[in-house]
């Protein structure tokens, strides 16, 4: 019994000291709390282990005691006192249980071990994550270095390109200045030539001048009478001599080709005339439709019968296109290429039957070796143009070919008037008074200005305006 009391006293003394120490640590921990610090739940593993050891000691001492039911007297009282003491000690150690439960401590130890394992796993995961982050940072640094190198190379290349571009722009500006200076000189020379032409009696007539050629304030016509000639061999000048005062009239242009370039009828259309343009080439027909809204434009050919003929269309020089295979072979040997296509044809008589409602002032026929067939398709007794202009030479030669078809006109009572080097002119017998007007070749007294000169001036002015506009934008 004495030995038991001694053990209990020592045990109680150790428990009191442990409780004081724990309370002191608890107070110290509370006093050291930093309100600004992050609140974290920490596990005091040493405290848990020591509490478990003390609980196990109490438990083992309790197990060594004999059951209270077997005691009596003093031993029973002592046993009960020790049992209460152990209960109090267990309450102090566990702090949250009124009844000591050794199995709960065992579960707490298992939970503690699990928490330690989780803590170790978390630490390992943090170490692995730190390794991955370090690897990513190294890779990012390498990418930054590579990007920096590429950016530096691109900056060098950009600087070189800018230098090269600056040199090219400077060269282009110098060239532009030279072209402007040369163009200005040419325009000045052309304007001087035009002014000299206008200073003579052969000046523009405002009534016959086409609207697309603008007049400046200082370019008011001096005297009426001059005309603009569009035809390649000045056929329109000779016809104007026959019809000088006619503001309206009617024409038929067989093989009309371009509505402006080398056109026999452009001058008369600008005066107010209208007529029929017959053109089998699709491209030229579209131009005629766009420029000749007051004319009748037909996309077909003329022959001595209605039907379909093979059209040999020149790919390089449209003016050489023909219905004649013989003529085509001649041009092909000279180096020209042709494309064959089927083209509808009708007769001159059918065209007149359908579209002509009055007198025909003149007809121009330029069909590249197909003239006889066109003449054969006409009804020259019913529809009699006052003047006939017909190409009478082989293309690009001075060889006359009018003997193939002239008799067809002479028998219809047409009179030969003149030959201008390319075309032959005929007048119907009832208008023989027109013969003297056609008998004299075109000359300076006809007061005409070739359209080629005006077109060059217009082109030069347009180019100078474009150059000046580009130069002003660059400045």
Confidence of residue 183 (pLDDT cuts 50, 70, 90): confident
Task: Convert the pLDDT of each residue in 117-174 to its tens digit.
Answer: 877 887 888 888 888 888 888 888 888 888 888 888 888 888 888 888 888 888 888 8
Mean residue pLDDT of the chain comes to 79
Q: Where are the domains of the chain?
A: 2-100, 227-446
Of the pLDDT bands very low, low, confident and very high (cuts 50, 70, 90), residue 336 is confident
Strand ordering across the sheet containing 274-278: 296-298, 274-278, 250-254, 362-365, 387-391, 423-428, 414-419
How many angstroms separate the Cα of 233 from the Cα of each of 261, 370, 415? 12, 20, 21
Cα–Cα distance, 234 to 224 (Å, whole number): 19
| Residue matched to tokens 């690897």 | 135
Rounded Cα–Cα distance for residues 209 and 215 (Å) = 10
Tell me the pLDDT tens digit for each residue of 188-225.
777 776 666 555 443 333 333 333 333 333 333 333 55
Region 259-274: what's the mean pLDDT?
A: 95
Report the pLDDT value the prediction gives residue 198, as an integer from 0 to 100: 52
Given this model, what pLDDT does residue 315 score?
A: 79
- Cα–Cα distance for residue pair 314/319, rounded to 1 Å: 8
Share of the chain above pLDDT 90, in %: 39
Specify the higher pLDDT residue, 469 or 231: 231
Give the C-alpha separation, 472 to 469, whole Å. 5
Surface-to-core class of residue 64, CB atoms within 10 Å of its CB (0-12 exposed, 13-18 middle, 19+ buried): exposed
Nearest to 207 by CA among 248, 171, 237, 175: 248
237 pLDDT band, cuts 50/70/90, is very high
Least confident stretch, 71-80, 207-216, 273-282, 448-457: 207-216
- In which band, very low, low, confident or very high, does the pLDDT at 100 lie, cut at 50, 70 and 90? very low
Q: Tell me the per-residue pLDDT of 367-389, one tens digit each, with 9 for 90 and over.
A: 988 999 999 999 999 999 999 99
pTM of the model: 0.54
| pLDDT tier, 349 (very low <50, low <70, confident <90, very high otherwise) | very high
- At 421 the three-state DSSP class reads coil
Task: Name which of 224, 227, 204 is nearest 215 in CA terms.
Answer: 204
> For residue range 411-436, what is the model confidence (pLDDT) as tens digits?
999 999 999 999 999 999 999 999 99
Task: With a cut of 80, say whether residue 2 has pLDDT above it.
Answer: no
Residue 72: predicted pLDDT: 55
Which residues is 226 bridged to in the sheet?
204
Mean pLDDT of 274-299: 95
Classify domain 227-446 by CATH number: 3.40.50.150
pLDDT in tens, 3-61: 444 455 566 666 667 666 765 665 554 444 444 443 344 445 565 566 667 666 666 66
């Amino acid at each position: 019994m004495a030995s038991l009391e001694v053990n209990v006293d020592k045990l109680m003394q150790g428990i009191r000291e442990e409780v004081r120490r724990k309370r002191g640590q608890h107070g110290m921990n509370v006093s050291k709390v930093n309100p600004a610090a992050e609140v974290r739940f920490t596990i005091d593993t040493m405290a848990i282990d020591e509490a478990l050891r003390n609980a196990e000691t109490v438990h083992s001492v309790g197990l060594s005691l004999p059951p209270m039911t077997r005691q009596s007297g003093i031993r029973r009282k002592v046993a009960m006192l020790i049992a209460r003491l152990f209960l109090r000690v267990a309450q102090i150690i566990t702090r949250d249980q009124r009844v000591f439960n050794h199995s709960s401590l065992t579960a707490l130890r298992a939970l503690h071990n699990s928490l330690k394992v989780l803590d170790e796993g978390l630490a390992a995961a943090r170490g692995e994550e730190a390794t991955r982050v370090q690897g990513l940072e190294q890779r990012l640094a390498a990418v930054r270095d590579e990007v920096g190198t590429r950016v530096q190379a691109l900056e060098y290349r950009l600087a070189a390109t800018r230098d090269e571009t600056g040199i090219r722009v400077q060269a282009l500006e110098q060239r532009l200045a030279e072209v402007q200076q040369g163009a200005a000189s040419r325009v000045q020379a052309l304007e001087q030539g035009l002014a000299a032409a206008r200073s003579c009696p052969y000046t523009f007539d405002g009534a016959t001048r086409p609207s697309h050629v603008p007049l400046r304030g200082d370019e008011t016509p001096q005297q009426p009478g001059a005309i603009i000639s569009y035809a390649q061999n000045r056929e329109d000048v000779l016809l104007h001599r026959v019809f000088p005062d006619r503001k309206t009239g009617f024409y038929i242009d067989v093989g009309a080709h371009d509505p402006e370039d080398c056109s026999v009828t452009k001058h008369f259309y600008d005066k107010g005339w209208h007529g029929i343009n017959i053109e089998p080439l699709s491209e030229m027909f579209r131009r005629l439709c766009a420029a000749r809204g007051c004319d009748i434009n037909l996309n077909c050919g003329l022959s001595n019968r209605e039907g379909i003929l093979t059209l040999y269309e020149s790919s390089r020089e449209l003016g050489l296109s023909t219905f004649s295979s013989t003529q085509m072979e001649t041009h092909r040997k000279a180096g020209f290429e042709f494309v064959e296509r089927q083209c509808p044809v009708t007769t001159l008589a059918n065209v007149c039957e359908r579209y002509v409602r009055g007198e025909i002032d003149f007809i121009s026929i330029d069909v590249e070796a197909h003239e006889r067939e066109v003449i054969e398709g006409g009804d020259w007794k019913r529809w009699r143009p006052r003047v006939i202009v017909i190409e009478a030479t082989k293309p690009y030669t001075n060889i006359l070919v009018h003997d193939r078809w002239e008799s067809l006109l002479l028998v219809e009572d047409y009179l030969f008037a003149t030959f201008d080097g390319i075309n032959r002119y005929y007048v119907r017998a009832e208008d023989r008074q027109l013969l003297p007007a056609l008998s004299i070749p075109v000359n300076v007294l006809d007061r005409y200005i070739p359209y080629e000169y005006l077109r060059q001036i217009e082109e030069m002015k347009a180019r100078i305006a474009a150059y000046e506009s580009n130069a002003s934008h660059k400045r």
